[in-house]
Amino acid sequence: MVPYFQANPGISAAEAASELGVTTKQLMTDLNQLWMCGLPGYGPGDLIDLSFSEESIEVTFSAGIDRPLRLTATEATALLVALRSIADLPGMVDPSAAHSAIAKIESAISGREFTGPVVPAPVEAPAVSTVRSALERDHALRLVYYSASRDVVSERVVDPIRIVLVDNNSYLQAWCRQAEGVRLFRLDRIEEATELDEPARPPAEAAADETSALDLFVDGPAVPLARLLIRADYGWVLEQYPMHKVTTHPDGGIEATMRFATLDWMARLLLGFGSGVTVLGPPELVTAVRDRSGAALSAYSALAADAGSAAVFPLNGLEEVGPA
145-175 pLDDT, tens per residue? 988 666 788 899 999 998 887 767 788 889 9
Q: At what angle do helices 13-20 and 24-34 cross, to 10 degrees?
A: 100
Q: What b/e sequence results for 168-181 when a residue is b if at least 16 CB atoms lie within 10 Å of its CB, and e otherwise?
A: eebbbbbbbeeeee
Q: Whole domain around residue 171: which residue ranges?
A: 126-208
Note whether residue 187 is domain-resident: yes
Segment 193-207, tens digit of pLDDT: 999 999 999 888 877
Residues in the chain: 324
Predicted structure pTM score:
0.48
Domain count across the chain: 3
> Looking at beta carbons, which pairs linking 240-248 to residues 24 or more positions away fall under 8 Å?
241/269, 242/216, 242/217, 244/219
Contact predicate 56/129, CB 8 Å: no
**Cα–Cα dist 52/228, whole Å:** 64
- One-letter amino acid for residue 32 of the chain: N
Do 155 and 232 belong to one domain? no
Note whether residue 119 is domain-resident: no
CA 188: distance to chain centroid?
Answer: 9
Write down the mean pLDDT value for the chain. 81
Mean pLDDT of 6-23: 90
Distances in whole angstroms, Cα of residue 47 to Cα of each of 26, 27, 62, 258: 21, 19, 8, 47
Mean pLDDT of 13-17: 92
Note whether residue 274 is domain-resident: yes
Q: Is 128 exposed, middle or buried (0-12, 13-18, 19+ CB in 10 A)?
A: buried
Look at residue 156 in the predicted model and tell me its pLDDT. Answer: 92
Do 239 and 306 belong to one domain? yes
CATH number for the domain spanning 161: value is 2.30.30
Among 45-49, 166-170, 202-206, 274-278, which range has the highest average pLDDT?
A: 274-278
Look at residue 319 in the predicted model and tell me its pLDDT. Answer: 42
Contacts of 148 (CB under 8 A, 6+ apart): 189
What is the pLDDT confidence band of residue 314, given thresholds at 50, 70 and 90?
low
**Cα–Cα dist 265/259, whole Å:** 12
Do 242 and 280 belong to one domain? yes
Mean pLDDT of 280-288: 93
Mean pLDDT of 256-276: 87
Do 193 and 262 belong to one domain? no
The answer on pLDDT for 321 being more than 50 is: no
What is the pLDDT confidence band of residue 221, given thresholds at 50, 70 and 90?
low
Contact predicate 184/156, CB 8 Å: no
What is the pLDDT confidence band of residue 113, given thresholds at 50, 70 and 90?
low
Do 244 and 309 belong to one domain? yes
Do 24 and 52 belong to one domain? yes
Contact predicate 222/255, CB 8 Å: no
Contact predicate 177/158, CB 8 Å: yes
Contact predicate 204/148, CB 8 Å: no
Note whether residue 164 is domain-resident: yes
Question: Cβ–Cβ contacts within 10 Å for residue 164, how many?
Answer: 17
Note whether residue 322 is domain-resident: no
